[in-house]
Chains A and B, each alone.
Chain A
Amino acid sequence: MIYNPFPMRVVSKREEAPGVRTLKIEFINQEDHEFFKANYRTGMFGLYGIYGEGESTFCVASPETRTDYIECTFRQSGRVTTTLANVDAGDIVTFRGPYGNRFPIEEFEGRNLLFIAGGIALPPTRSVIWSCLDRRDRYRDVTIVYGARTVADLVYKHELEEWKQRDDVNLVLTVDPGGETPDWQDHVGFVPSVLEKVAPSPDNTIAVLCGPPIMIKFTLAALEKLGFSADNVYTTLENRMKCGVGKCGRCNVGSTYICKEGPVFTATEVQAMPQHDL
C-alpha cells in the first residue's frame, strides 16, 4: 500500500565532503525496478529509509539516463542520515518514490544551458546535468557554475574533474572568501557575484538553479540583472516532508504542495508564492 517502500541493496558508498556521502543503491525486486524505470524523470525525489530509524527526503541524484541504480547524496545530520551514512555494501535500505514533477528537459533542447548550484544542492542539479550531457547533441553550450563554502565542501569532486576536462562543458568553480586552499586555482567569491562575471548571454539560455534559500534569493536577483526571463529560470524547492504524496500537510509554501506540484518550479512560479513561507 501507499507507505510501503521498495527494499534496496546498497551497492557502494562514497565520501563526498565532510559529513556528506553518496549511496548507490539498487532494486532487489525486478518489478519495483521496472516501475522506477518507467516513472523516474530528472527532478523527482524520493524518501530514503532504513528500518528502525525512519525515512528522509532527498532528490534522486542520478540522471534519468542511468536507471540501473539510484544515487542519493546527503549530509549526515539526524537519526536517519547518520544511520544511512554508516551502511555498508550489501546492507538493505528502502526507497519510496519517485515522487513529484520534473525538469522539462525536452523543452530545453536546442538551447544553451546554465547550471548554478551551491554546496549540497549540486546533487539535484547533477541529475539534470547528466540527463542532458548523456544526450549532449541535443543541447548547445553548457555552463556549470558551482560554489561551496570551502574547497572541502565541494561534492562530486571526481565529476567536477571530469567536467573540467571536457571541452563541451564550461565549468566555473568558486568557494566563499576564506574557504580557499593555497593551491586553489578557481574563483573566490559568492555564487551570485561570480555568476555576474561568467554568465553566458541570456539569449536562448535556460538556467537551472539549486541552492540554499539565501543563495536562491540572491542568485535570482543576479539572473534578473543579467537579463534572464523568470520563465527561463528553473529551480527545485525542498521542504521537510513525511509522506511525499500530498497528505502529511507540511511541505506547502502558501497553497502550493512542494511534493505534488513541485519540487521543480520556474522562477516565475516561485516569485508568485508568499515569500515569507519559503
Chain B
Amino acid sequence: MTRILLNSRLDDCLGAWRSAGFTVLAPVKRSDLTRFDEVQGASEMSLDIVMPERTIKEHFFLQTEPLIRYEIKKQQIETEEMVPPERKRIFFGVRPCDAAGLDIDDPLFGWDYKDDYWFRRREKSVIVTIACTSADDFCMCTSVGLAPDSPKGSDVMLHPLLDGRGWLVVPHTDRGKALLEPVSSILLEEAAEPAPVPAVPVKFDVNNVMAWLAEPANFESQLWKEVSQRCIGCGSCTYLCPTCHCFDIQDEGDTYSGIRRKNWDSCSFAMFTMHTSGHNPRNTQSTRWRQRIMHKFNYYRGKFGVNSCSGCGRCTRQCPVDMGITETLHEISNLPR
C-alpha cells in the first residue's frame, strides 16, 4: 500500500509540520520572479511551473553571508562570529535537479576544512521534492545522468497523481521518514497511480564530453573561442546554477565597525583571477568559459566523483545572449571522433 497526500489536506500537513517546529519554504511568485520563501499556507505556493527562476542554493549558500561582525576601539578589537541560526526548515516543492544540486555541493563544502555556514543549514533542513510532470526545451537532467523523478538529494519525494488529487509520498532518507511521522494521520494509505514523468530528450552524450575534456590537447582547442564568442561575462549562469559555489570575501563597513561577508562570485568575471601584478591567468572570456565547463565536467569529477551539473538548464534558459552550457556540450559531444 502506498501513502497519499491529497491536495485538500496540504494545509493540514503544513500546519502539522509548523506545529512540530518547522519553517516551511516553497516556491513563491513575487513580481515575476519565483523563488523559495517562507509560506504559511498552500495558497501562497507556485507549484504548477517547470521550476522557479532561482534555486534553493541561495538558502544554504547565501548570496551575501555575514561571517564576522567587527568593532574597533583604539587598539582593541571586538569581533563576533555570525553563526547561522539552526532552524528546522522544510523545502517543499523542490525540483529533483535542485535537490541533486545540494548533494553535489556537499563534498566541496566538507572536504578537509568544513564550511559550517553550509552544513548548519543543511543539517536542519528537509528536502521535499516534487517529481516533474512538465519540462521545457532547456531541461537537460537526462543528459547528466539524472531524471525528472530522480531522488538524489531528496528526503521525501512527492509524485503527482494521475487523477490530480494529490501526490504519492515516498521517503528516501531517515530524515524523510521522520518528517512523515507528525503527518501520518493526514496521509491516506491506498493504491494510486502517479502521473507519467515528462520525456526530457538527451541533448548530449556526457561520456563523449568527459572523454574530450580529459584529453590534454583539447585545452587549447579553437572550439573554446568559437563557443564563447557571444558571452558577455555577466555571470547570470553562475548565479542561477544550483551547483556553482564560487565566492569572494569582502568587508562591508568602515575602519571602526562593520561586517565581513562571503559573497557569490563568478568565474565569468574578468577580475576573478586577476593578480596584483596585472597578470591574469584567465584573461579572456573564452578562457573563463573553458574554466566553467572544465570545472563542471572534468575537475569536479576528478576531486569528488560527480559532475557539477544537475541539468536544470537555467544557465541556458535565462542567458541574456541565448548561449549556455547545453550548446557547448552538444557541440563537444558531436565532434568527429
- A residues with a Cβ closer than 8 A to B are 1-4, 7, 51-55, 75, 77-78, 81, 90-92, 212-213, 238-240, 242-243, 245-255, 260, 274, 276-278
Does B272 touch A at the CB level, under 8 Å? Answer: yes
Q: Are A247 and B115 CB-contacts (below 8 A) given A52-B251, A52-B253, A75-B276?
A: yes
Q: Which 4 A-B pairs have the closest CB atoms?
A: A249-B246, A245-B113, A51-B70, A255-B299
A13 vs B20: C-alpha distance when bound (angstroms):
58
Instruction: Please state if A242 and B248 are interface contacts (CB–CB under 8 Å).
Output: yes
Partner of B258, one of A52, A78, A253, A276: A52
Task: Give 6 A-B pairs besides A51-B77, A52-B254, A54-B260 with Cβ atoms closer than 8 angstroms.
Answer: A2-B116, A51-B258, A52-B255, A212-B277, A247-B108, A278-B281
Q: How far is the CB of B235 from chain A (nearest CB, A)?
A: 13
Once the chains bind, are B114 and A2 in contact (CB under 8 Å)? yes
The residue of chain A having its C-beta at the shortest distance from the C-beta of B267 within the complex is: A249
B248 touches A248 (CB 8 A): yes
Question: Known contacts A4-B81, A247-B108, A250-B267; is A242 also within 8 Å of B247 by CB?
Answer: yes
Interface residues on B, range: 35 or more
| A239-B273 contact, Cβ under 8 Å, with A54-B250, A277-B281 | yes
Contact B250 A247 (CB under 8 A): no
Query: Across the interface, do A92 and B255 meet the contact criterion of CB distance under 8 Å?
Result: no
Chain A residues contacting B248 (CB-CB under 8 Å) are 242, 248
Contacts of A238 in B (CB 8 A): 275
Q: Which residues of A contact B117 (CB under 8 A)?
A: 1-2
> Across the interface, which residues of B come within 8 angstroms of A55, CB to CB?
249
Provide the residues of chain A in CB contact with B276, threshold 8 Å: 75, 77-78, 81
| Cα A247 to Cα B111 with chains together (Å) | 9
Partner of B279, one of A3, A212, A276: A212
B8 at the interface (CB under 8 A from A): no
Is A255 within 8 A of B246, CB to CB? no
**In the assembly, what is the distance between CA of A278 and CA of B275, in Å?**
11
In the complex the two chains form, what is the Cα distance from A266 to B273 in whole Å? 23
Residue pair A276, B287 in contact (C-beta under 8 Å): yes
In the assembled complex, which residues on chain B have CB atoms less than 8 Å from the CB atom of A276?
219-220, 287
B262 within 8 A of A: yes
Q: How far is the CA of A194 from the CA of B291 in the complex (A)?
A: 37
Contact of A3 among B67, B282, B302 (CB under 8 A): B67
Would A252 and B299 count as touching, CB distance under 8 A? yes
Please indicate the chain B residues that have their CB under 8 angstroms from the CB of A243 in the complex. Answer: 247, 249
Assess whether B79 is interfacial by the CB under 8 Å rule: yes
A1 and B249: CB pair below 8 A? no
Residues of A within 8 A of B116 (CB): 1-2
For the complex formed, measure the closest distance between the CB of A80 and the CB atoms of chain B, giving whole angstroms.
Answer: 9
